[in-house]
């Protein structure tokens, strides 16, 4: 599960960055206005990338006091606003996949990039260390694109 840590409370995917502490969404550094419930839905999906987040789990997260009058319409509107903010669509999903009558799944690639110390000596390009979370598992992935300065 992805969680806000002291060293990194931002989740990155594609051109987007989500700040879990401030509750903000950015695209290429520009803040994208997002209603609180849409942000809560996004964070629920990002906490379990690649896994189905059930409609019931979203209901509990978005309406914890269970005062929802029109749950279906409300949830659909929230997901549609979130898709609009991400430039996504149900018919051609890049980030949010709909599983009819079951829930939604985040299908984008999540990354948390940090420059690796010491890789810059003699290199013209820098590597990155990425922490990737999927469900209960976390991996560290090293990606290096390098050309020696003499080439």
pLDDT in tens, 58-67: 998 988 886 7
- Provide mean pLDDT across the span 131-145: 46
State whether 81 and 104 are in the same domain.
Answer: yes
- Provide mean pLDDT across the span 12-22: 92
Is 40 a domain residue? Answer: yes
Read off the pLDDT band of 95 (50, 70, 90): very high
Q: What is the number of structural domains in the chain?
A: 2
Structural domain containing residue 120: 112-143
85: enclosing H helix or E strand: helix 71-86
How far is the CA of 48 from the CAs of 11, 24, 32, 45, 67, in angstroms?
Answer: 12, 19, 22, 6, 25
Task: Supply the pLDDT for residue 8.
Answer: 56
Is 149 a domain residue? Answer: no
State whether 92 and 50 are in the same domain.
Answer: yes
Is 2 a domain residue? Answer: no
State whether 14 and 84 are in the same domain.
Answer: yes
Strands 16-19, 113-115: parallel, antiparallel or unpaired by DSSP? Answer: unpaired
Contact 16, 25 (CB under 8 A): yes
Is 151 a domain residue? Answer: no
State whether 101 and 47 are in the same domain.
Answer: yes
Whether 50 shows a pLDDT value over 50: the answer reads yes
Is 121 a domain residue? Answer: yes
């Amino acid at each position: 599960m992805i969680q806000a840590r002291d060293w990194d409370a931002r989740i990155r995917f594609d051109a987007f960055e989500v700040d879990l502490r401030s509750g903000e969404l950015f695209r290429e550094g520009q803040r994208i206005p997002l209603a609180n419930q849409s942000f809560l839905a996004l964070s629920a999906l990002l906490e379990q990338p690649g896994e189905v987040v059930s409609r019931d789990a979203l209901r509990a997260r978005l309406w914890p006091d269970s005062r929802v009058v029109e749950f279906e319409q409300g949830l659909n509107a929230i997901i549609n606003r979130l898709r609009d903010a991400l430039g996504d669509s149900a018919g051609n999903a890049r980030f949010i996949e709909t599983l009819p009558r079951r829930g939604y799944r985040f299908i984008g690639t999540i990354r948390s990039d940090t420059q690796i110390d010491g890789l810059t000596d003699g290199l013209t390009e820098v590597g990155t260390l990425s922490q990737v979370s999927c469900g209960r598992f976390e991996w560290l992935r090293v990606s290096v694109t390098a050309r020696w300065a003499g080439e």
